[in-house]
Chains A and B, each alone.
Chain A
């Protein structure tokens, strides 16, 4: 069964500093990988996704993520954090079996706090 681990429950970062959120997954084949952001009172918004090809993926809001098969990781990064990046971030792995659609398995989330 697929699973996703986000080791950091909370991260506090200063505005303007860099941010890296860790994600490790367990899946029997090449996974579809996603990062979502959830702001208070908002729905989940897709930041970026990886399916194949270049292992460094660019997303919205200045985020990027790198797929490392050898480490089963898909870490999210941003070079310079803005106060508006304070939110909860979820890593997810999607099933590749067509009959199962695109069932997502989410990690537990990492809450990011941004200090002025």
Chain B
């Protein structure tokens, strides 16, 4: 079956612009996660959705970052007034449930470059 998909695969934007990154989880997966992976580092947690609600947004670095999942499926990560430090690969993952043993399936990521 189809895995997690993310669009676009690459995004180049100018400093100060607004960007949206999209994630399509595996069908039927209720949990959705966003992570950010900077060059040479491991992924860092940003936000977790259970259904439509953000159950944990403690990883969002500041109020320029926001994410939604209005119908409990597709999610959009939104970044306002982008800065060069936002350049990274943004990863999305989904899993069936909320249990700690729920395997997360990762998408290929969106590489964001802020010039």
Contacts and interface: CB of A to CB of B under 8 A. Distances in A.
Given A44-B91, A51-B100, A106 B56 contact: no
Interface string A35-48: 01000011111100
A100 B48 contact: yes
Interface string A84-101: 000000101011111111
Given A44-B91, A109-B42, A104 B98 contact: no
B72 to A, nearest CB: 14
B50 A101 contact: yes
Given A32-B101, A102-B95, A43 B108 contact: yes
The binding surface of chain B is classed by DSSP as loop
Interface residues of A, number: 30
B109 interface: yes
Interface range on chain B (Cβ under 8 Å from partner): 20 to 34
B43 A90 contact: yes
Nearest to A108: B42
Contacts of A69: none
A32 B3 CA distance: 23
Given A44-B106, A51-B100, A94-B100, A101 B33 contact: yes
25 contacts: A32-B100, A32-B101, A36-B106, A43-B4, A43-B106, A43-B109, A49-B103, A51-B100, A96-B100, A97-B100, A98-B99, A99-B55, A99-B56, A100-B55, A101-B33, A101-B56, A102-B31, A102-B33, A102-B100, A102-B104, A104-B33, A104-B45, A108-B40, A109-B40, A109-B41
Interface of A: 4, 6, 32, 36, 41-46, 49, 51, 90, 92, 94-109
